Amino acid sequence: MQDAIRQLIRAIGEDPEREGLAETPMRVEESLRFLTGGYGQEPREVIGRGVFRAECDEMVVVKDIEVYSLCEHHMLPFFGKAHVGYIPGNYIVGLSKVARLVDMFARRLQVQERLTTQIAEALEECLSPKGVGVVIEAEHLCMMMRGAQKQNTTTVTSCVRGRFRSDERTRSEFLRLIGK
């Protein structure tokens, strides 16, 4: 990977051997491996032993989970907040595991739409809840720094399943709890 990064630095007209850039290929490789570390993980292993018998059947919401990912089209960052809610069936999950699940999928080359759906599908698969809702609000540097160059735009995506889809009151409660 470092050889490819050196070639890229040369291709844009820089000298990869100059003092400020000499260690850049190593740093970029470390950074990319961290930012795409989600490829080596699966939802069930991220959740691990954090699943417990449900003692409630009321909505659980973890909101304002920081999201950092790379756009698969330009490999530029997008970042924002994820809001995840579910209604337990027979199981609940440790709250930190919800944030870890968000990170796992975010640490892949992504589009926000797919990221939103993957989080919902993973919770469905691992918990069999009565319903799931995921909303992500993010700003995309590929839209802010290039292309349209619109700095004040936010993209909002949602995925609702089960009772969040079929019951308007449930969906409304979720949106109210996350401030939407």
> Could you tell me if 53 and 14 lie in one domain?
no
Where residue 79 sits, what CATH number does that domain have? 3.30.1130.10
> Could you tell me if 60 and 26 lie in one domain?
no
Output the pLDDT for position 62. 98
Q: How far apart are CA 56 and CA 52, in angstroms?
A: 11
> Could you tell me if 149 and 171 lie in one domain?
yes
- Nearest one of 72, 66, 93, 83 to 157, comparing CA atoms: 83
Query: Interhelix angle for 2-11 vs 24-35, to 10°?
Result: 120
Q: Are 47 and 161 in contact (CB under 8 A)?
A: no
- What tens digit of pLDDT does each residue of 84-107 get? 999 999 999 999 999 999 999 999
Q: Are 102 and 134 in contact (CB under 8 A)?
A: no
Catalytic residues: 71-74, 112, 140, 142
> Could you tell me if 17 and 84 lie in one domain?
no
> Could you tell me if 74 and 54 lie in one domain?
yes
**Tokens coding 161:** 């399943």
> Could you tell me if 17 and 42 lie in one domain?
no
Output the pLDDT for position 147. 87
Output the pLDDT for position 66. 98
- What tens digit of pLDDT does each residue of 136-151 get? 999 999 999 998 899 8
pLDDT band of 171, cuts 50, 70, 90: very high
**By residue range, what is the domain housing residue 159?**
37-177
> Could you tell me if 26 and 52 lie in one domain?
no
> Could you tell me if 114 and 158 lie in one domain?
yes
pTM over 0.85: yes
Q: How far apart are CA 100 and CA 126, in angstroms?
A: 14
pLDDT surpassing 90 at residue 47: yes
- What tens digit of pLDDT does each residue of 105-164 get? 999 999 999 999 999 999 999 999 999 999 999 999 999 999 889 989 999 999 999 999
> Could you tell me if 30 and 110 lie in one domain?
no
**What percent of the chain is helix, strand and coil (3-state, nearest 5)?**
45, 25, 30
